[in-house]
Amino acid sequence: MGFEKFGRKSFTSVTKTAKFVDILATGKIDGTACKKCGTKFFPPRADCSVCFSKDMDWFDMPQNGKLETFTTSYYAPTGFEQDTPYTMGVVNFGNGLKLFARLAKTVKTEDVKVGMDVGVRSMKYDDGQVSFEIVKI
C-alpha cells in the first residue's frame, strides 16, 4: 500500500516511510527510532534529524497520554471542507514524544480539556483511507 492511502487527502504517494500506512491498516500506530542515538520520531522519519543516521527502526507508539493543547477548526484547507468543524490536539506521551491528530467525532467539544487522559487509535474512513485519531479514555 502506498502513502496515497493516508489521511483525508494525500498529497504524495511516494515516501521512504510508506510502511507507516501498512501498519495503520493493521490497526497499529508506529513511530520510528534511530538505532544510533535512540531518538524517537512521530510522525515517522526515514532519517534521524539529530545524528543524521539512516539506520532507523519501527516502534509501537504508546496508547495513552495527556492532551497538551487543542483547537477547533471551523474553516478547512482544500480537500477538508466537508469535515468542519473538527477539533485537533497534541498528545504528550512524555520523554519528548508527541502526536498531533484530530479528536474522534465521538468526543464532544465541550468535554475537551487540557490535561485530560486520551488514547490514540488507528481508523479507516468510509472511502478506505486510513489515519489515526485521539479518543477520550
Residue boundaries of the structural domains of the chain: 3-136
105: left (phi over 0), alpha (psi -120 to 50) or beta: alpha
Looking at residue 17, what is its pLDDT? 74
Q: What are the tens digits of pLDDT across the range 85-118?
A: 999 999 999 989 999 999 999 999 999 999 999 9
pLDDT for the residue numbered 97: 94
- Counting as low any pLDDT under 50, the low residues of the chain are none
Q: Name the nearest CA neighbour of 25 among 59, 61, 51, 1.
A: 1
Helix extents (H) in the chain: 19-25
Which amino acid is present at 1? M
pTM of the model: 0.83
| pLDDT at res. 5 | 60
Burial of 53 (0-12, 13-18, 19+ CB in 10 A): middle
Tell me, what's the pLDDT at 51? 97
Residue/partner pairs of 87-91 with CB below 8 Å, 24 or more apart: 87/112, 89/118, 89/134, 91/65, 91/66, 91/67, 91/118, 91/120, 91/134
